[in-house]
Structure 1
Amino acid sequence: MKYKKLLLSLFLLLVFWRLFLPYPHVANDLHHLYRQGLNDNFLLPPTFRDFFTGDGLGQRIIFVLAGWFIHPFFSLFGKLGVDFTYQMMLFGFLPTILFSIWGISKLLESYRVEGWGRLFGTLLYLSNTYILLLIDGGQITLALAYSLFPGAVYYFNNSLSSQSLRPKLILTLVLLGISVFDLRIFLLLAIVFILKAVFDFLVSDSKLHLLKNLVITASVASLFVISAHLYWLVPALVARGNILPEALRNAGGAELFSFANLGHSIFLISPHWYKNIFGQATPILPEFALIPLLVFLAPIVKRKDRQIAFWLTVALLGIFLAKGVNPPLGEIYTFLFSKVPGFSFFRDPTKFFFLIVLAYSVLFGFTIEALSKRLVKYPKLRVLFLLLMAGYLLFLIRPVWLDKMTGTFSKPIYLKEYLKLANEISSDKAFSRTFWIPTVAPLGFVSENHPALDAYQLLSKRPFAIGVSGSYELFNYLRADYMGQLFDVSGIGYIVYPYPDVRRTDLKPDNVDYYHWFLNTLAKQPWVIPADVDSSVPVLTTSGHQDKFFVPSNTWLVVGSDDVYSTLNKIGGFKLSENALVFSESQVAGARIAEKENFTGIIFNRKESTDLAANLLENGFIFPARNLKDSPDDTGWWKRDGSDVVNWRNFLQEKYGLDNLDFDYGGGWAVAEGPKELKVESNLITKNNIVLARVMKSSLGGKIDFYQRGSLIGSVNTSQNRQNSKTKEYEKADFLWVEIGRLISESPIDIKTQGKLEVINTIAVITEKQWRRALDNTDSLLSKNEVISLNNKAVSLPEIFNPSQEPSLSYKRINPTDYEVRVTGIKKPTLLVYSTSYDPLWRMEGEESISIYSLLNGFPIEKDGVYKVAFSPQKYVNRALIVSLLAVSLLLVSLFLTRTKKKLL
């Protein structure tokens, strides 16, 4: 026994010793938390945050609140003076190792895998490329879930076979821990549990006993785990709209993240081994071939064993699922991803390596035990075999002990420069955001007063994405002429562009030249203060930025696209921070906005009064794109989401020489290239109602006909002459509203196109009364507001753009979802702008926020006062949190009380 413990200790020491060296251990998914960031994180679970989330402009985090229990724990020790570096060693790395040893050892022991078999099963579980890359990549919560995975299976087996309540309670505690660390692994366990229950039921001699224990186990675990998570489940249920990240709602995500092929799964090679660079899959390495050979030798060296049969089933299932949509039979994964509830959580199919690793470790243990027993008569040969096996496992993971890893196993580069930058930014007591190129560095300073965002994140924000020119250089939006204005209203005070990490990037001379050219070009922008850029972590500062709350003098309703930024920026003296822009076409909410907001004026950007009237409709919209696919279907039609503005523009520019920046009301574009037909069905289609359509007009358009039951109800001419108005070398196309006609029945609408390129955004089906009211409201708005028409022509600066009031403002942050704002000096109705990502769940005095600049939150104010700004789902958290804490307390008390009790009944 002492030799086994010695070998285990030496093996683990050789593999993991670097994790306990006294410097920050960081990776792409593990950012260092400085003292300020740790202290700011000591909070009740917030449903919205603008730092510590990866998006410095803020986002809903209701869905990820399942892991909230961890954060106050780290913050508490931070307040006690324990550096995050040592916290991660004590509460991240060490528990991952110890829990893994405990769990896999208990599971192997339950299958009577003893001695060397249990040791090598444990070594494989702790030293395979998957778990090592999880740790090196900084996915520590996922690694902690991994460490508890075998223990959960062990206690599930005990719960099914035992009448005692205690194993069921321990299982519940382990499941609660896994659900806190990563909910997806909780779902993976459900797959194993279901397979195990079915398998045991088929072979059990006491099916009633098994079913009884299964029902009790499921009931106890469900009751406590669900109750413990009520603090975020309740606000998630009452919150309007989607709480899931966009990536989990996008069926195309599975294709993007299917990096592993069948060889990776069988050979147990993590597809990004060992540099862990996204998208760069490692080739199949032949030296790993012995692993599956020994694993699948288990049913041969130990025949007719039911447990081996079960784990072979788990292994084969994991191998098939971990490859994602890759062949063979990748369409099955696509079907599961898009159709099976909960399966979209696995857009990254490598999570199924959990099943492979656990199954392989058990089967590997069986094989090694059987082979070592057969060699017991040959002691020297047995020792040689065991030493060769240990050396083989070490050889497979040699990048770890040869110091070739690029994350937590290695010392971070530019450490002194990052620490110096952290001191510089933390000493700045004024609020400002830090903008990182290309992404926030793992050693980047982040706090509540200085949130961080990056160049990639801003590509998902509409005003920044429209600044991209072409598709080769995505970050050229930073050179757009209006970008300084957007940085100002976004509260960005610092820009950091570190030299690339040479450990992860194969830098060529062209790459180095481009880095320096881009940095110097950015430093010369008129809105950037000149600075020394010779450092490995150069820092630039902006010439000015707004606070988290600010009050513009004027509010403009813009009818048309947001290329208006560029036009307005050409007006001498124009300041975006003094002129809030509300884009009526950015969402289907025009009527609400127009009724509640007092505008300084209305700006028409290549639009007409009909477009404004259609903006004022509250309902009746049909979006044909929602029933189409990303590629042409049998009808030849396909769709493009309006949020994918970069690729949409690239398609128009590269293929047709057109350009368009119109909003899509959130409904996408339905595209027909050449003559096509499309049937539109909806319960909104009602006889005698008026039909409007929003279509693209361009020199490549032709005609779109709308039919019902073969009868023409109206047509629209989508052709327009080539115009002088161009975006660089591309001709402008425009989306305009057109009244089509009246419906003659409730039958579907048949659309027929005749142009080379036709695009439909939406169809509105409304009553004559609704349309008349919208037209009347339009006339009223135009009569009482200043009207400015822009047609890509230079305009002089109207005095109305100038600041007309200089209010003073102060605010108090109660928590990340609750602020008190005091405003004085208001002379006319305006807006209070809250500089975080627009979310309609933000409220001020009960009123829903308005999207400002198609980016930030805004609230109408008419007078001086103290205003309360709050994120509405937060109010449901506190009461539910009491129930959650009571559930966890009850679980712990029950474990204490049952520590000597053996039977449930």
Structure 2
Amino acid sequence: MKFPRKLEYILLFFFAFLIYRFFLSTDPLVANDWPLLFRESRTFSPFWAMAWDYMGNGGIGGPAFKTIWIDLYANFVYSITNFTNMPWWLSQRVFWIVPFISLSLASSYVFASYLLRDRLLKIASVLIYSFNTYILMILGGGQFGVAFSYALAPLALFAFFKLLDRPTVLNVLVSGLASGILIALDPRVASLIFLVGFFWFVFFGRKFTKVKIKAVVSSLIIVGALNLYWILPILMSKGSLSGFSNYASLAGVKFLSFATLSDSISLLHPNWPENIFGKIYFFKPEFLILPILAFATLLLKPKKEILFFLGLSIFSVFLAKGASDPFGQAYLFLFDNVPGFSLFRDSTKFYVLTALSFSILIPYFIENLPSRFKHLTAGVFIVLFLFILRPAWSGELTGIFRPQPIPTDYLLLKTELSQDKDFYRIMWLPQRQKYGYFDPNHPTISAQDFFKTTNHSQILKNLRMKDVQKLLEESSVKYIIVPTDSNGEIFLKDRKYDPLQYKKTVDFLDKMVWFKRAQGFGNLAVYQTRGYRGHFFIPSGGEVQGKFINPTEYSIRTDT
């Protein structure tokens, strides 16, 4: 019996509404990787990329070498919303949330259709891929570059499979475009998908005809052409461009290896459900239903294409745990010796392959059960999957899954700063809360970045140092602000909010003689320094007036 197509849409809509219904409010969606942007923060943003980031280098400014399209897409969104005067909360839904959900559902459905026949089990595949804990944590943290690449990955892989089946001009174009956009969105996710595509080509490419090889090469040329905007600058600068992080740190890999083998094999994100960085939760045994059903496929004597995904799942499960036991040294060896592997300092990126594998293996196992049990088992699985995701639909997730009004204190700060046309910087101590206002005339500095330490006590000690007052003055710092930390994310002790740290910071600044507490900002502790330099100044004296045009262009006038 075929599963009715209308019920497919109803089931997908039900899941999407249940998980994402929190986005229907008119409050802004704010996360650490997706901060609040007031209109004044983005009024200058053009469609093209700017060569200078006024918020780069910790607020001091730095080269804005953009390697990923999500930045270009963001500029495009800012341009459209500025032109139409669209509210920020609405643009978030229209240009980010809806496209992600639509792309993820459609992409995973198309990929499932390549290997599965039953409609209900195609839907089960979509649910596994689009609503697992990994992607929900990525989305909750506002990592939309990763989220969009995750959503596009199945479609890119499907397009490559179709290219191998039928190397037509259309399939060359579709595969090249999908893969090119994928690598532009997130090279890490793209490299994983390309690895899968390579081994699929080796095992299932059948005859390596000239036509097939020519089609693959043509597709790769399209991929390269779409990414020339960042490939050429790298080649021309001989790889010396600033802005690239130094990932070659084994200590960093060990620190970021939060997932255990029990987490990775169960497709359970180690920070589920609160998504607090570094906070590891007890294992939730109900998630074992996923690997049990996935690896039960071995009982069916599966065809070789399914064996491929079984091998892929074992590969990804082992690597997703990073440097954690067992055999954690193997990951460190790969990180230290395999070119390009340093991109995976955060090993949870391999969850992408686990999700992709499980989204095929579990439905395939159910699809090959006796027909009288097939749909019943599928229905039971979907209910169980919904049950283990209960933190998502019961409102326990954080980040953008918990829309909140902007705190009044931060609105008062925004009003004050946006009306002041003078240039100066604002230092947030220890770091800016995600509601903090900034614009090209008022970049923000994190005290942690400025003093290059995350030790809160050390930051306070640095403020007592002899030359710090002069350093802040020459860095154009007018205000030092202690965030209210209304969400309990900054002043932490043992990963729990500690109000004593906030009080200690405020008491310390109250006693500093070269700060003056500013009034009119509610509970926000705002301190004004004794003096600050302008954006442009002459050390020997003389007045300099600078007019902002865009982050790369100023009009300067001096009296000398």
TM-score by length of 2: 0.91
Deviation string, structure 1 residues 462-499 (Cα, Å, up to 9, x no partner)? xxx6xx9x996444323334322221111112222223
- How many angstroms apart in 2 are the aligned matches of 1:413 and 1:328? 45
SS at match of 1:541: strand
Offset of residue 503 of structure 1: 5.5
Alignment-mate amino acid for residue 429 of structure 1: K
Change (3 A) 1:547 1:135: same
SS at match of 1:435: strand
Offset of residue 251 of structure 1: 4.3
**Residue among 224, 227, 231 paired with 1:233:** 231
Paired residue total: 552
1:811 aligns with 2:546: yes
In structure 2, the partner of 1:133 is 137
1:486 aligns with 2:471: yes
1:390 aligns with 2:378: no
**Residue among 58, 61, 72 paired with 2:61:** 58
In structure 2, the partner of 1:284 is 283
Alignment-mate amino acid for residue 437 of structure 1: L
Offset of residue 234 of structure 1: 2.7
Alignment-mate amino acid for residue 461 of structure 2: N
Change (3 A) 1:105 1:510: closer
- How many angstroms apart in 1 are the aligned matches of 2:394 and 2:307? 38
SS at match of 1:40: coil
In structure 2, the partner of 1:96 is 100
In structure 2, the partner of 1:270 is 269
- How many angstroms apart in 2 are the aligned matches of 1:361 and 1:255? 29
- How many angstroms apart in 2 are the aligned matches of 1:115 and 1:373? 14
- How many angstroms apart in 2 are the aligned matches of 1:54 and 1:39? 21
- How many angstroms apart in 1 are the aligned matches of 2:119 and 2:158? 18
Change (3 A) 1:19 1:144: same
In structure 1, the partner of 2:539 is 552
In structure 1, the partner of 2:29 is 25
In structure 2, the partner of 1:208 is 208
Deviation string, structure 1 residues 317-341 (Cα, Å, up to 9, x no partner)? 1111111122222222222222222
Alignment-mate amino acid for residue 539 of structure 2: P
Offset of residue 428 of structure 1: 1.2
SS at match of 2:204: helix
8 Å CA contact 2:33–2:142 kept in 1: the answer is: yes
Correspondence list, 1:655-674, <5 A: none
SS at match of 2:368: helix
Which of the two has greater strand per residue? 1
1:528 aligns with 2:515: yes
- How many angstroms apart in 1 are the aligned matches of 2:533 and 2:250? 38
Gaps of at least 5 residues in structure 1 are: 377-381, 554-805, 826-905
Alignment-mate amino acid for residue 177 of structure 1: I
- How many angstroms apart in 1 are the aligned matches of 2:520 and 2:460? 19
- How many angstroms apart in 1 are the aligned matches of 2:349 and 2:380? 30
8 Å CA contact 1:4–1:116 kept in 2: the answer is: yes
- How many angstroms apart in 1 are the aligned matches of 2:180 and 2:43? 26
Which of the two has greater helix per residue? 2
- How many angstroms apart in 2 are the aligned matches of 1:295 and 1:823? 71
SS at match of 2:401: coil
8 Å CA contact 1:40–1:447 kept in 2: the answer is: no
- How many angstroms apart in 1 are the aligned matches of 2:456 and 2:9? 57
Offset of residue 114 of structure 1: 1.7
TM-score by length of 1: 0.58
Alignment-mate amino acid for residue 287 of structure 1: E
8 Å CA contact 1:32–1:85 kept in 2: the answer is: no
Alignment-mate amino acid for residue 485 of structure 2: P
1:12 aligns with 2:30: no
- How many angstroms apart in 2 are the aligned matches of 1:220 and 1:20? 43
8 Å CA contact 2:412–2:521 kept in 1: the answer is: no
Alignment-mate amino acid for residue 541 of structure 1: Q
Offset of residue 524 of structure 1: 3.1
Offset of residue 418 of structure 1: 2.2
1:120 aligns with 2:124: yes
8 Å CA contact 2:168–2:215 kept in 1: the answer is: no
Change (3 A) 1:329 1:507: closer
- How many angstroms apart in 1 are the aligned matches of 2:311 and 2:189? 19
Change (3 A) 1:54 1:133: farther
In structure 2, the partner of 1:516 is 503
Offset of residue 386 of structure 1: 4.3
SS at match of 1:193: helix
- How many angstroms apart in 2 are the aligned matches of 1:42 and 1:430? 23
In structure 2, the partner of 1:477 is 462
In structure 2, the partner of 1:109 is 113
In structure 2, the partner of 1:424 is 416
**Residue among 39, 45, 48 paired with 1:41:** 45
Deviation string, structure 1 residues 834-882 (Cα, Å, up to 9, x no partner)? xxxxxxxxxxxxxxxxxxxxxxxxxxxxxxxxxxxxxxxxxxxxxxxxx
Deviation string, structure 1 residues 419-470 (Cα, Å, up to 9, x no partner)? 232222111111111222332222221211111221221133xxxx6xx9x9
Deviation string, structure 1 residues 551-605 (Cα, Å, up to 9, x no partner)? 112xxxxxxxxxxxxxxxxxxxxxxxxxxxxxxxxxxxxxxxxxxxxxxxxxxxx
Identity of aligned residues (%): 28
Q: Which has the larger radius of gyration?
A: 1
Offset of residue 413 of structure 1: 6.6
- How many angstroms apart in 1 are the aligned matches of 2:280 and 2:404? 23
**Residue among 428, 437, 441 paired with 1:436:** 428
In structure 1, the partner of 2:398 is 406
8 Å CA contact 1:495–1:540 kept in 2: the answer is: yes
Change (3 A) 1:435 1:156: same
Offset of residue 265 of structure 1: 0.6
Structure with higher RCO (Cα < 8 A, 6+ apart): 2
- How many angstroms apart in 2 are the aligned matches of 1:544 and 1:126? 53
Change (3 A) 1:76 1:550: same
Deviation string, structure 1 residues 163-219 (Cα, Å, up to 9, x no partner)? 311122112221232223212222111211112112214xx2xx133x6424422x2
In structure 2, the partner of 1:656 is none
Alignment-mate amino acid for residue 293 of structure 1: I
Offset of residue 236 of structure 1: 2.9
8 Å CA contact 2:429–2:483 kept in 1: the answer is: yes
- How many angstroms apart in 2 are the aligned matches of 1:538 and 1:412? 21
Gaps of at least 5 residues in structure 2 are: none
- How many angstroms apart in 2 are the aligned matches of 1:496 and 1:198? 58
SS at match of 2:179: helix
Alignment-mate amino acid for residue 411 of structure 1: P
